[in-house]
Amino acid sequence: MLEHDLQQVAELLLSARHTVAFTGAGISTPSGIPDYRSPGTGLWETMDPMAVASLRAFRADPEAFYRTMRPFAMKLLAAQPNPAHLALAVLERHGLLACVITQNVDHLHRAAGSRCVWELHGDLREAVCVNCKRILPADGLWHRFLQKGVIPRCASCGRALKPNLILFGEPLPRYIFLEATGEAERCDLMLVVGASLEVAPACELPFVALRHGARVVVINNAPTPIDGQAQVVIRRDLAEVLPRLAEICRVHLRSSGDAASSEEER
């Protein structure tokens, strides 16, 4: 059944005009980064996100934010791309994937070689002062914090710097969200990969794609709100499924290329 589903997804990819991947925390769990809502292992299973990871909480007690998030940050910064990230980069190199829209802040898509990546929730490459609004490269700030416990502070006002990622209570970066929305509107195929589709407004983008006529494929361990409208739903290990999908597509492309060469020779 899995092979049949993957062949179907490969056919959709090979015939699509403009394919977009929408990824969530599930694509990075094989890299050792826990997701947020899986029963027993999700980050928010053991803590209240509004009390820890909201802008209000950070402003009130940045030291508590850093202290609580330190174990998660250690896993985040130590993580390496897994086969699922690499497979999406392969699909892009073969011209079968226009871009990745991700809710993740771990930078693993770019590290894997994906070139067009829209990071809806920010990233750890920069730090921002919530007081004077300065944005600066993070460089070694996070590593110094993990190694020595030194909270990064703004050189201008002395307040604690926040990782330039989106906390609860913050709007998404307007330009990035508009670009991602445009990709959802113009695509004719969207791969929803490792995303629970529970966090708004990012979770609306696959439905935007549907409303504009796109087909949707879901590859996720748990059910999502869009499953009933998806062309194909696969519930298997992403690090197993996506490399196999990329290989099937590669074989099809090679076969069609060989056939085209033979036709030219004749």
Q: Residue 43's closest CA among 163, 170, 196, 172? A: 196
H helix runs in 33-105, sequence order? 49-52, 55-60, 62-78, 83-93
Number of neighbouring beta carbons within 10 Å of residue 201: 12
How long, in residues, is the chain? 266
Cα–Cα distance measured from residue 196 to residue 202, given in angstroms and rounded to the nearest whole number: 11
82, 239 contact by CB (below 8 A)? yes
DSSP state of 172: P
∠ CA 179-95-225, nearest 5°, is 55
Annotated catalytic residues are 121
DSSP one-letter string for 3-49: HHHHHHHHHHHHH-SSEEEEE-GGGTGGGT---SSSTTT-GGGSS-H
- Which tokens is 198 given? 């529970």
∠ CA 20-109-257, nearest 5°, is 55
Q: Are strands 122-129 and 161-165 parallel, antiparallel or unpaired?
A: antiparallel
- Which tokens is 148 given? 């020595």
